[in-house]
């Protein structure tokens, strides 16, 4: 069974940022953040929102954000090493 993980959720939790905190910083609802992380919606943000996203997540540029926020397959070799 293949495991999936949202790159946005991983980055957000590493920064100890809640969905609500990120939503407030970017000017969207918490449900919108959840939808991005679950692959139900793709972000359609203005430049100021991308800047706020970067600042809140502690990344230096938009280029450092994941290309896709939806759940992605996790490398199976990482899972096997953790077992």
* Inside any domain, residue 78: no
| Total domain count, the chain | 1
pTM: 0.82
Q: What span, in angstroms and rounded, lies between the C-alpha atoms of 83 and 14?
A: 21
pLDDT of residue 74: 82
* Inside any domain, residue 80: no
* Inside any domain, residue 82: no
* Inside any domain, residue 62: yes
pLDDT of residue 3: 84
pLDDT in tens, 1-39: 578 899 999 999 999 999 999 999 999 999 999 999 999
* Inside any domain, residue 39: yes
Q: Which of 73, 80, 57 is nearest to 6 (CA)?
A: 73
* Inside any domain, residue 81: no
CATH code of the domain containing 65:
1.10.260.40
**Residue 52 domain boundaries:** 4-73
pLDDT of residue 1: 59
List, in order, residues 6 or more apart from 18 with CB less than 8 Å away: 12
């Amino acid at each position: 069974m293949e495991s999936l993980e949202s790159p946005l959720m991983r980055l957000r939790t590493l920064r100890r940022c809640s969905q609500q905190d990120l939503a407030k910083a970017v000017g969207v609802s918490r449900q919108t953040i959840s939808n991005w992380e679950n692959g139900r919606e793709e972000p359609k943000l203005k430049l100021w929102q991308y800047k706020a996203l970067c600042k809140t997540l502690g990344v230096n540029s938009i280029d450092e954000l994941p290309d896709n926020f939806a759940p992605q397959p996790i490398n199976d070799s990482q899972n096997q090493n953790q077992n």
